[in-house]
Homo-oligomer: A and B are copies of this chain.
Amino acid sequence: MDPLTARQLIEDFIHDCAHCIDDDRLEEWPSYFVEDCRYTIIDRESFAADLPVGIMTCDSRGMLEDRVRALREANIYEPHCYRHLISGIRVRDVDGDVYRVQSSYAVIRTMQEGDISVFSSGKFLDEIVVRDDSLQFRQRIVVCDSNRIDTLIVIPL
């Protein structure tokens, strides 16, 4: 695939995944991943120290689906929504049809009562399988800048 086309498909894919979460279409979210995927949230220091244990890891699309179901059934103390801002999407490496991509994110959280704050910032390290114009994450590592992350990150980052 020519690099310009791949670049645009990847940018669109990453943004669409964020819109899917922000628009509260969470049931669609697992479809952005291959069956045999890995989704990890880890803090910056643990990632730098190559610690294998993230704050949260899902090892299959089924686990992502479970996560969404649990979220829909959960009694969240106070309703809130997320807004992703994604910047600096950069393809770092291509291996066959797998693209390694780095990007920066910030998630703005708005509580129903109206409080607005930056909930999390960090970077996405993605491995994206690109086949024709169909894209899916094989791996997404969310490296949070903060070491103090809510153990209950309800909505996915």
Question: What residues of B have a CB within 8 angstroms of the CB of A7 in the complex?
Answer: 8
- Tell me the complex Cα distance, A148–B112, Å: 8
A residues within 8 Å of B by Cβ?
4, 7-8, 12, 15-16, 18-19, 22-23, 44, 81, 83-90, 102, 104, 106, 108, 110, 112-114, 116-123, 145-148
Question: What residues of B have a CB within 8 angstroms of the CB of A89 in the complex?
Answer: 15
* Binding site secondary structure of chain A: strand
If A19-B104, A110-B146 touch, whether A121 touches B88 (CB-CB below 8 Å) is no
- Tell me the complex Cα distance, A18–B112, Å: 27
Complex contact B145–A108 (CB within 8 A): yes
Question: What residues of B have a CB within 8 angstroms of the CB of A146 in the complex?
Answer: 110, 114, 116
